[in-house]
Amino acid sequence: MKARFRIAWPGFTLDVDLRLPEKGVSALFGPSGSGKTTLLRCMAGLEHAPDGFLDIEGQVWQDSERSIFLPAHKRPLGLVFQEASLFPHLSVRGNLEYGMKRAGNAQGEGFDATLDLLGIRALLPRDPGQLSGGERQRVAIARALLTRPRLLLLDEPLAALDIKRKQEILPYLEALREELDIPVLYISHSPDEVARLADHLTLIENGRAIASGALAETLARPELSPAFADDAGVVLETTVAAHETDSLARLEFPGGRLYVSGHDKAPGSRLRCRINASDVSLALSAHRDTSILNTLPATVTAVVDADAPGHVLVQLQLANNGPLLARITERSRRTLGIAPGLAVIAQVKSVALL
């Protein structure tokens, strides 16, 4: 997917040029006002950028140089905003049937599979007013999918939900990542959502893409840490190796192993973990007299100033190329002689299971 847009307004300019994967979840991350939603509206055809180009799997939807602009209602895409915007006078089934009719999907292609994917079969006879916020969003996503889109756009779909409802819908969004064969563009300013759902990450700041790449690689770049503030860290793809007798689960990944509080996933299951830089300390040698279970040999690859005064961010390379970040004080850096090429022990104080 190729997307290039430039819009100049008084006080704000959007100027981006992106190459995004044709499958999986690509997250647009950035603070409010950075241009994420404007970019999404350009891709949807709701905003006509005078200088723009959009190619979805070889189909050109916009090319300003050739005066091509496919209007929004002719673009085969699904769009879901913060509010589900279901038709209140229609049942859940009626809302879904509307989506199918709009796309000429009279035969209901994919109807049963979509119901199962989003777990909404039991909701079909209900009215939107009888649904929780998470249920409404799942129905909205199902309606978008039943239009048979070439691209699914999700504009902060969890922003209006409380923590409980977010936890309810996140597993279904993870299922979308695994099951869909179309690209999904996911807008968020939540690092946890991005870490859990995204395959590809684009950081938007002041209308420009300051970085774009595979999630793990982009998160591990220390110079980008100011974009995440206190949430700077890395994501590791692990496998549940075993459940220990003392209620700990052993996770393995290229570069080492981690012990976490018991998890209900069976051995062999994949599990995504997030390790914040603030939860990693460094030592020059392994210690036996410590309560920290997770210690990983690593090599320092870079040291940059952190966003907090008197602190630095250290980029580490684990065995087999696994990345890690550690936030330490400048005094500790000087005392330990932390510099690129130094072998250290990374002590992981906390692991967030996603």
Three-state SS sequence of 150-219: CEEEEECCCCCCCHHHHHHHHHHHHHHHHHCCCEEEEEECCHHHHHHHCCEEEEEECCEEEEEEEHHHHH
Are β-strands 343-348 and 323-329 bridged in parallel, bridged antiparallel, or unpaired?
unpaired
For 49-68, write each residue's pLDDT tens digit: 999 999 998 999 999 999 99
Average confidence score pLDDT of the chain: 90
Lowest mean pLDDT, pick from 221-235, 266-280, 324-338:
221-235
Residue 43: per-residue pLDDT = 95
Lowest mean pLDDT, pick from 71-75, 225-229, 315-319:
225-229
Find, among 240, 258, 236, 212, the residue nearest to 324 by Cα. 236
Q: How would you write 122-154 as a 3-class SS string? A: HHCCCCHHHCCHHHHHHHHHHHHHCCCCCEEEE
- Rounded CA gap, 274 and 195, in Å? 7
Number of other CB atoms surrounding residue 275 within 10 Å? 25
Q: What is the CA radius of gyration of the chain?
A: 23
Beta strands, E only, 207-283? 208-214, 233-243, 248-253, 256-261, 270-276, 280-283
Q: Which two tokens stand for residue 226?
A: 């100011």
Give this prediction's pTM.
0.87
- Rounded CA gap, 346 and 15, in Å? 39
Residue 306 neighbours by CB under 8 Å, 6+ apart: 225, 232, 312, 313, 327
Mapped onto helix, strand or coil, the DSSP state of residue 62 is strand
Find, among 138, 141, 198, 156, the residue nearest to 174 by Cα. 198
DSSP structural state of residue 342 = -
Residue 68 neighbours by CB under 8 Å, 6+ apart: 60, 61, 62
Rounded to an integer, what is the distance from CA 269 to the centroid of its chain?
A: 20
Number of other CB atoms surrounding residue 183 within 10 Å? 23
Q: Which two tokens stand for residue 143?
A: 């309606």
Identity at 123, one-letter amino acid code: L
Whether residue 108 is predicted with pLDDT greater than 70 in this model: the reply is no
Domains present along the chain, CATH in parentheses: 2-226 (3.40.50.300), 233-353 (2.40.50.100)
What band does 105 get if pLDDT is binned at 50, 70 and 90? low
For 169-221, write each residue's pLDDT tens digit: 888 888 888 888 899 999 988 888 898 899 999 999 999 999 999 998 898 88
For 76-94, write each residue's pLDDT tens digit: 999 998 888 899 999 999 9
What band does 101 get if pLDDT is binned at 50, 70 and 90? confident
Treating both helix axes as pointing N-terminal to C-terminal, what angle do 163-179 and 133-145 enclose, rounded to 10 degrees? 20
Whether residue 106 is predicted with pLDDT greater than 90 in this model: the reply is no
Q: What is the phi/psi pair of residue 196, to 5°? A: -80, -35
Mapped onto helix, strand or coil, the DSSP state of residue 11 is coil
What band does 309 get if pLDDT is binned at 50, 70 and 90? confident
Query: What average pLDDT score do residues 16-22 get?
Result: 94
Whether residue 147 is predicted with pLDDT greater than 90 in this model: the reply is no
Residue 104 neighbours by CB under 8 Å, 6+ apart: none
